């Protein structure tokens, strides 16, 4: 199985886990509790702009859960707001007030519903370290996944604002 966490867009070969019951959603739940899935049952997990919704106290348990359900050799493809790039843009003296407000929404969440709050920010170093602490290997950054039309490929001007990484079990 290939599992798209937080997705809404149906795609052949993929199942969707989402916290909200929407039309294309196959499983209700969130990334921090994958107990409805068996050990070694998922080939690929994809999550775009979901991981930042976890408090830092839930990160270890969540990564353990992801590792548990992935098959040996399975991959976790994750996209999060890239704090290094976002802070750089925010601090750039040419950034307008309107753009700074937009950047704050990307950093802290759009807050359009009870789930759209960001509790933690990630850089390549902090995310890589978290993966390695939880036995993942072959951790690497990629420019784009090219799987779904989502925030993983979002640009501000010509600058990508997402940190896209792949970690292998």
CATH number of the domain to which 150 belongs? 3.40.50.150
Which residues neighbour 86 within 8 Å (Cβ) at sequence distance 6 or greater?
103, 106, 107, 161
Residue 114 has pLDDT above 80, yes or no: no
Domain count, the chain: 1
pTM: 0.92
At residue 117, the pLDDT reads 79
- Split at pLDDT 50, 70, 90, the class of 89 is very high
Residue 111 has pLDDT above 80, yes or no: yes
**What residues pair up with 42 in beta bridges, in sequence order?**
70
Say how far apart CA 42 and CA 70 lie, in whole Å.
5
User: 51 lies in which domain range?
Assistant: 2-168
> Burial code of 33-72, b = ≥16 C-beta within 10 A, e = fewer?
ebeebeeeebebbbbbbbbbbbeeebbeebbebbbbbbee
């Amino acid at each position: 199985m290939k599992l798209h966490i937080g997705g809404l867009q149906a795609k052949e070969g993929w199942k969707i886990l989402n916290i909200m019951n929407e039309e294309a959603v196959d499983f209700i739940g969130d990334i921090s509790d994958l107990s409805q899935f068996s050990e070694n049952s998922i080939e690929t997990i994809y999550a775009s702009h979901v991981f930042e919704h976890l408090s830092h106290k839930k990160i270890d348990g969540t990564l353990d859960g992801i590792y548990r359900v992935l098959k040996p050799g399975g991959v976790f493809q994750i996209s999060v707001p890239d704090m290094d790039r976002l802070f750089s843009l925010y601090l750039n003296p040419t950034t307008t007030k309107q753009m700074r407000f937009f950047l704050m929404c990307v950093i802290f969440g759009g807050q359009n519903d009870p789930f759209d709050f960001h509790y933690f920010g990630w850089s390549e170093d902090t995310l890589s370290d978290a993966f390695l602490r939880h036995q993942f290997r072959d951790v690497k950054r990629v420019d784009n996944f090219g799987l779904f039309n989502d925030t993983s490929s979002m640009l501000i001007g010509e600058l990508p604002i997402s940190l896209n990484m792949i970690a292998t079990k």
